Amino acid sequence: MKGFHDKKKGFGITYNDIYLVNGARTPFGKLCGTLGKVSPTDLGIYATKAALEKSGITGEDIDQLMYANIGQSSADSYFLPRHIGLFSGIPEGIPAVMLQRICGSGFETIIAGAEQISLGKAQTALCGGTENMTLSPTVSFGNRMGYPLGRIDFKDMLWEALNDTAAVPMGCTAENVAKKHGITKEEANVFAKSSIDKYLAAKERGFFDGEVIKMNSTVFEEEGLNPRKVRLPRKVVDFATDENVRPADLESMAKLPTVFDKDGVQTAANSSGIVDGAASVVVANGDVIKAKGLKPLTRVVASATSALDPKVMGLGPVPSIRLVLEMAGLTVDDIGLFEINEAFAAQFIGCEKELGLNRDICNVNGGAIALGHPLAATGTRLSLTLSREMQERGVKYGIASACIGGGQGTAILFENPNA
């Protein structure tokens, strides 16, 4: 393990003998859809129990639990990571922590897990993120102190999450990137349609069957704890559908109005979907891999986080990817696959242009424009999807990355141990 920090480039770390074993995710439910009334804690339990099973270990094998959640959307969300651990069969003596770096939070759990293992504080870590954006509350700040006459004030926290009050709303950052790189609405729509088409092709060949679990109404029970009853809508059985996805055609997309700028490029069709879901992975060191005879998907080589002008937030992956490559002594040409979160089409295209990426090896199974962006779960989902595709293609190196609200970016470099 070797750390790196530079006030201009960012900070990061390289790891020795740390692996992403395997993982799982829930299907991503559309806004006000099938998962709309399932608490983020329960979504995390579904994903975590499945991730343990897919990894070939039990909850008893976990030494640390780090979980992410951005928009607290249930009354017991203060206890979210702890409850996910307790109801997933992880021993009560294992502590749990919640992490938050907005859209990079899912990555942050993997980074933190790898660092805890590197420091000798664990051999295995359960990492992941969960988000129910449908349940994001309407709040009244300061109501306990009363209101001036006629000035009752409520905020929609889902809407507020899209606005960086220090700079500009998230969608406007994508428009700034579009202006900087001369990206047109047509270019953004072509990319968005490609994302959807890739997702549909991947689903058709059964790729997502390897990571998406089937969900049913259930009761999570552990001795000595109050049971958690989860009810999906009536008649829903074996729910395993990413509900945000819908076929697209360029003619229809071209007719949609832009959302953030009258003469802009971003529309509802070429921006990431607002969805509900969770994703979990198991991270472990080489001693555990050997002792249990596990076959990990990838080795976690290095990670980096950088920051930049919040007005062009979407370009966050550019400095973080450059830094993680520099730390590993690699170049863009050495990377066989990229997963870069598609917050907005213009945002991805801007990163693509600045890094000189080959689109044919980026988001090859579609991205968030197709299946959605459940904030805290996205980094974990990207890492799992990338690691699985690296195995299928026999690719040696892959990078997962995302822009982060407020002007940040995180990237993780993975290596295929079988390539």
DSSP label at residue 396: S
Q: Which residue is it, tokens 């295929």?
A: 416
Cα–Cα separations (whole angstroms), residue 159 to 136, 313, 405: 9, 18, 14
Distance CA 27, CA 284 (A): 25
Q: Please name the helix (run of DSSP H) or strand (run of DSSP E) that holds residue 368, with its range, or none.
A: helix 368-371
Which residue in the list 32, 103, 127, 172 is annotated as catalytic? 103
Whether 103 is catalytic: yes
What residue spans of 210-295 are helical by DSSP H? 250-255, 286-292
CA distance 40 to 362: 29
> Rg for the chain (alpha carbons), in Å?
20
127 is catalytic: no
The burial of 119, by beta-carbon neighbours within 10 Å (0-12 exposed, 13-18 middle, 19 or more buried), is given as: exposed
Residue 34 sits at the vertex; the CA angle it makes with 29 and 35, to the nearest 5 degrees, is 65
Neighbour tally for 353: CB within 10 Å: 16
Bridge partner residues of 14 (DSSP): 2, 302
Pull the structure tokens for residue 328.
């590993």
Q: Which long-range contacts (CB under 8 A, 24 or more apart) does 416-419 make?
A: 416/298, 416/299, 416/390, 416/391, 417/19, 417/296, 417/298, 417/299, 418/391, 418/394, 419/390, 419/394, 419/395
Catalytic-labelled residue, pool 127, 351, 362, 403: 403
Catalytic residues: 103, 403
